[in-house]
Amino acid sequence: MTLNYRPHLITLGIGIFLLSFCFTGCREQEWHSFHYDSKRTSSQPNKTALSDPAKVPGLAVRWTWTAPAPGPGGNAGFRASPVVNDNIVYIGNGNGFFYALNGDTGAVLWQYPPVGSPALVTQFQCNPSSYGIASSATLTHIKGTDAVIFAAPDQSIGMHLGDSRLFALNAKTGAEIWKSPVIARLTGLTSGSKTEFHENIGYSSPIVFEDKVYVGVADQCDNPIQKGRVVAVSLDTGAIDASFTYCSTGTCADTTRGGGVWAPVAAAGDSVYITTGNTKSGAPTEPSPNNGLSMIRLNRNTGAIIWKFQPVPWVLDKDPDWSAGATVMSTSCGSVVISTMKDGWTHALDEGPGTRRWSFPPATIPFTPGDGTSHGDTRYMRGGAAWGDVYVAMNGGLNLTISGVTGGYKRLHAFNVCAAEADRLRWLIDVPNASGATYSLGHPTITNGIVYVGTDTGHLVAIADPSLVPPSGFRCSNPDVSNALCIIMGYKFVPEPAVLANIALSGRMVYNEPALANGRVYVATEGNNVYMLSP
């Protein structure tokens, strides 16, 4: 008897293919990067208990881990956010050490540098972006090894003051795979010096895309502003990729300044997407070219600009840096690149040509002198979260030009990205236990319509999209207008979504995002704690 193996082999092949595809899908329950993925969607697409409205009210702290007290040059607290893979939580602390924690218990698996080694801190400290390790990590594979990559200052190189570089470590052991050369230069400590480099990686979390790692370079709290750059290094070796160059002003070699890349770089297709900071900051003339205060699409291989969107011209630049990064959304109306500027306006662009789809609150763009708008150093600084056609973010709101710019600091808006302007605003909520002060909210994240966000009073709040849970009520779309006057004054009622959980933790969560991995919330605070919560 002759057996025919061919059908069995075909079956086996198909089975392996499908299982591997499925395995890949399930692995996405991890949280591999700041804002989840290279598109920076801040969205966990897989259904878990965290996206089940019936289970979320049962959310509770399962473990807490407190980082060791800082040594010389360090600062207590987490400004970075956790990333998660294979039940290991990775995060850097203000004390200048990077930790891997057991996802079940919070026990330290390893730390880098090892105990007794100098901390990764800088001597130029002026705001939390320069406190130890403020940049969130990203997880990847390097030559078949699970690896974690993060940015940090390192006094062992350059002028030994704390130049920033990238570190790639074995994710299981913490062993070094590579260390990049200096990426952000710190060549002196003289306040205001224009002859020293005061560059900083700060909050710009690195992202791996194809064979490169991308990270943005900004400055040390505008003291003074530096030339914004994006640097790409080889994923395999950490060597700087000289074929990729991007500088925000003038040429990379000249002395023009500004356009810091404060926010995480996003990547999709053949491009990377960045947002940039201001360029004016006392400069007598506008640099040329001036790519500051812009959302920009770059060729991922060369760094060449494909398009640039600059809503605030130089003449109106009062430092409304783009502090939130770009999110690349796959929606029913195509690929949309979206972000909110520090001035409170959210802008959505068609990803292909970079043409503006809408702005909220509605506005004529570019802004012009005398148009009644103001663009200063205000605090709409957090990235948004994307869920299908929905984008959730801080925003100045419909009263932005009426009441002044600060009113929305504790408010989340959800937008219908593809809808007509009349239906743009999906819902609106003043997040409970957010004070309304300048830094009130952290970065929101979302999983299948449940939004998670931290507040400045140390609360973690879970909010349900009204398509999942009936709203707690309806309120006027303009936060200045009472319900009684809403329709009379020409506004609409919009849902105020239900709050499913509101849990008091310890320490502010205004730089941090809740990582939603494997049905658990991992969140860090400036109170120096990492928490794991689950329903």
Task: Single out the segment in contact with another protein by CB under 8 A; choices: 12-20, 212-220, 272-280, 306-314.
Answer: 12-20
Number of C-alpha atoms within 13 angstroms, CB side, residue 241?
21
Q: Compute the distance between CA of residue 224 and CA of residue 308 in angstroms, rounded to an integer.
A: 25
Q: Compute the distance between CA of residue 295 and CA of residue 309 in angstroms, rounded to an integer.
A: 5
E strand intervals along 240-345? 246-247, 266-268, 271-275, 295-299, 305-309, 327-331, 334-340
- Within residues 394-433, the interface with another protein by CB under 8 A covers 398-399, 401-403, 416, 418-419, 423, 426-427, 430
C-beta of residue 523 within 8 angstroms of C-beta of residue 461 = no
Q: What are phi and psi of 297, to 5 degrees?
A: -105, 125
Q: Does 111 bind another protein (CB under 8 A)?
A: no
Task: Single out the segment in contact with another protein by CB under 8 A; choices: 128-136, 171-179, 344-352, 444-452.
Answer: 444-452
The residue from 315, 437, 485, 504 that contacts another protein (CB under 8 A) is 485
Q: Does 487 bind another protein (CB under 8 A)?
A: yes
C-beta of residue 103 within 8 angstroms of C-beta of residue 148 = no
The least CB distance from residue 231 to another protein, in Å, is 32
Q: Does 243 bind another protein (CB under 8 A)?
A: no
The least CB distance from residue 478 to another protein, in Å, is 8
Q: Does 19 bind another protein (CB under 8 A)?
A: yes
The residue from 494, 505, 515, 530 that contacts another protein (CB under 8 A) is 494
3-state secondary structure of 467: coil
C-beta of residue 264 within 8 angstroms of C-beta of residue 207 = yes
Q: Does 26 bind another protein (CB under 8 A)?
A: yes
Task: Single out the segment in contact with another protein by CB under 8 A; choices: 146-154, 244-252, 486-494, 514-522.
Answer: 486-494
The least CB distance from residue 197 to another protein, in Å, is 40
The mark string for 43-62 relative to another protein (x by CB under 8 A, - otherwise) is --xxx---x-----------
The least CB distance from residue 441 to another protein, in Å, is 17
Q: Does 389 bind another protein (CB under 8 A)?
A: yes
C-beta of residue 429 within 8 angstroms of C-beta of residue 497 = yes
Judged on CB neighbours under 10 Å (0-12, 13-18, 19+), 471 is middle
Q: Which helix (H) or strand (E) holds 356?
A: strand 356-360
Q: Compute the distance between CA of residue 503 and CA of residue 411 in angstroms, rounded to an integer.
A: 18
Tokens of 186: 């710190």
The least CB distance from residue 535 to another protein, in Å, is 16
C-beta of residue 300 within 8 angstroms of C-beta of residue 245 = no
The least CB distance from residue 81 to another protein, in Å, is 22
Q: Does 304 bind another protein (CB under 8 A)?
A: no
- Within residues 113-142, the interface with another protein by CB under 8 A covers none
**What does the DSSP 8-state code read for residue 315?**
G
Q: Compute the distance between CA of residue 48 and CA of residue 84 in angstroms, rounded to an integer.
A: 15
Interface with another protein (CB under 8 A): 4, 7-8, 10-11, 14-15, 18-19, 21-22, 25-26, 28-29, 45-47, 51, 330-332, 370-373, 387-390, 398-399, 401-403, 416, 418-419, 423, 426-427, 430, 447-449, 466-467, 471-475, 479-485, 487-496
